[in-house]
Amino acid sequence: MRPGEGLDALMAPRSIAIIGASQDATKIGGRPVDLLRRYSYAGQIYPVNPKASVVQGLQAYASLDELPEAPDLAIIAVDAEKAPEAVEQCAGRGVRSVVVFSSGFAELGEKGRAMQDRLRVAARRTGMRLLGPNCLGAVSVADRAIATFSIVLEHSLPAAGSLGIVSQSGNLGSFTMRMASDRGVGVSRFMTTGNECDIDIADGIAWLARDPATKVILCCVEACRDAGRLIAALTEAREAGKPVLVLKIGTSAAGQAAAASHTGALAGSDAVFDALLVRYGAVRVRSIEELIELGHAASILLPDRLPKGPRLAVVTASGGFGVLLADAAQAVGLSLPELSEATQRTILELVPFASARNPVDATAQMSSRPDLLQKILSAVVADDRSDVIVLPLPFSLHMPRLRSVYMEALRHIRAHFPDRPVILCVDGPPDALAELHAMGYPTIASFDGCCAVVAALARLQTAAKVPKDASPSAIAKASPLSTEAFRHELGAKRALADAGIPVLAEQLVSNADAAACAASEMGFPVVLKIASPDLPHKTEVGGVAVGLRSEAEVRAAHAEMLSRVAAKAPHAAIDGVIVAPMAQGLSELILGSRIDPVFGPVVMVGLGGIFAEIVQDTAVQMAPVSETQAMAMLTSLRAFAVLNGARGRRRADLAAAARAIAALSRFAVAHAESVSEIDINPLLLKAEGEGAVALDALLVPRTSGPQH
């Protein structure tokens, strides 16, 4: 099934059966019955318990077969050993969806995995959708459809709103729902996927993307099990104009340990997950607090008031607050451009002793008169040199006089500038915050948190505009490579050259005389490199000699190299020595690719040479990438300024580097079934317009076939 298909019966059920229903409202089987009744679910509730005729005041049934109808949703609240039979009975009865609370399945080993397979087979046989097992269920707030035993609903149900929550972790997801509710943010739907026997995180995102009640989707993710489904769901959400905000917990070391190439160590799965989110329009956050605050702000500003960029204007009654916000803004990549001369002139005419550049310090005068505050704010909000305005109001809402001043001014701003995003850095009484939210103003208590949310909102707008790109399926599988391509760098570079990656003209020689002759023919200076299938990192055994300027130097270096290698790697097979021209350039990059166990072929670029793993200035993307996407990878590097001609340096040929990255990514996809890792280190960049060349390369074969 495509992501999200068949979930209507789970998220908007007209009738719910509870298998394992308990008279005790504190037990897992009793809590759904209690919560459905307490919060006035309008559909039919069918407790199923063979030992009771009445459960919590409702008629109970001995089995599913005795129900007057097949319910839309069945909640399974029995021991793990009994759950497979219960699910199979649901499938046979025509139930459209089930939630399995029970734990003790794949998370406990082979026996549990076998029982979980029974659940999956039963669901797939009939098309019934299954949430769990080992999950905390689902809630549709407006419908009062409660299929959870979570304690966060003990005292109240969240207000109905526009935040949809989908989480692999039950407790993390329910905590997010409670925090959102406590923050005054309404929730539309809540879903936890647990072991993801059938319904997964992608299903939740895709269904919420189609849900009219949901504007913003919050995700709590532990692991991605199927990159293709996640990509499809994120794409659907982006096309629906619904931001997806992701809290990813844990980082995967898959593919990093014991990697044969630099790339394996530098392109970790967590970095790939980051790249996937950026590529498909989602925004990652680093804390649950940021997830809630960003969801709160986005739900208020959508659809027309998201910041269009990272330019921030600050208006404050305190110079100190302005400096604090400026520091916090800079730390998260926001800029504070100087306001226009006309705006500054207006401010100074109103308050001659103000600081009008940005941050605007209008002094305490702006808090004393609503008309003065309106005019200053209006001037700044109208200035198109900023994308978003932040107004800090610490403690002001707790003082009735100041609250009145600010509320009057903010009502005026919203009426006259309905499309401009203004965010308030403030805490205050709940009724005051609710009034501001209703006017269209997000409120965030802390300075650092406010700037982090503004930066993330700007990324949301950028993410929505990321162009669609080529799918790996658009690239045909290539013919198998010869064994020589995997033996050492000479064969690897020949294979890469056929894919469009520039290399030098080199020769493999078997003795010193042949080396001297080859060097003389190609012109001095030259480089000698050991050719061995057992020595992928030649410098570590003294297998490289550079800057050789005569036949005599070549002969001497040849003998010395073989002696060093024999001493340090006596058992290595030696095919000979590679003679290559000594290339000159401006900068070195490392290019690489590997097969991620979840995301498939990924491509990486970073600062190259011997310091690649020490500096770890890298950018990662799923393959393939276009030249435009490759250039974006380059510009994201911390070292980009150096490549781009900082401090009077000549600009490196970045276009040639982008072409090489794109070509490598296509090669990686075409050979994904036979090549596990590719390492080009270094790719030497020459001056702008002069090209680039791969000086060393390594291809690592796959030994066990496709892994994703």
Q: For each successive 10 residues of the chain (708 residues), what is the average pLDDT?
A: 94 97 96 97 97 95 96 96 95 97 89 92 94 96 96 93 95 93 92 95 98 97 89 94 91 42 50 88 91 94 91 91 92 95 94 91 81 91 96 89 90 94 94 94 94 92 65 78 93 95 95 96 96 90 95 96 95 95 92 90 85 74 93 91 85 96 96 94 94 94 60
pLDDT attached to residue 346: 94
DSSP 105-124: SGGG-HHHHHHHHHHHHHHH
Instruction: For the chain, list the domains and their CATH numbers.
Output: 8-250 (3.40.50.720), 306-464 (3.40.50.261), 505-581 (3.30.1490.20), 587-701 (3.30.470.20)
Q: Quick one: which of 244, 249, 191 has its CA closest to 224?
A: 249
Q: Quick one: which of 123, 120, 203, 210 has its CA closest to 166?
A: 203
Which amino acid, residue 101? F
> CA 588 to CA 220: how far, in whole Å?
38
> CA 544 to CA 22: how far, in whole Å?
75
pLDDT attached to residue 469: 62
pLDDT attached to residue 480: 87
Helix, strand, coil tally for the chain in percent (to 5): 40, 20, 40
CB 677 within 8 A of CB 667: no
Q: Quick one: which of 327, 435, 343 has its CA closest to 386?
A: 343
- The set of residues, in sequence order, having a beta carbon less than 8 Å from that of 410 and lying 6+ positions away, is 422, 424, 436, 439, 441
Q: Quick one: which of 661, 517, 682 has its CA closest to 589?
A: 682
pLDDT attached to residue 692: 96
The conformation of residue 311, written as its DSSP 8-state character, comes to B
DSSP 418-439: TTS-EEEE----HHHHHHHHHH
- The set of residues, in sequence order, having a beta carbon less than 8 Å from that of 460 and lying 6+ positions away, is 243, 283, 298, 306
Using DSSP's 3-state secondary structure scheme, residue 303 falls into coil
Query: Strand 576-581 and strand 526-531: pairing?
Result: antiparallel
> CA 44 to CA 84: how far, in whole Å?
24
> CA 655 to CA 627: how far, in whole Å?
8
Using DSSP's 3-state secondary structure scheme, residue 346 falls into helix
Q: Quick one: which of 376, 394, 378, 381 has its CA closest to 325?
A: 394
Query: Strand 73-76 and strand 15-19: pairing?
Result: parallel
Using alpha carbons only, what angle is made at residue 459 by residues 423 and 276, rounded to the nearest 5 degrees? Answer: 150
Helix 400-416 and helix 430-439, axial crossing angle in degrees, nearest 10: 10
CB 130 within 8 A of CB 9: no
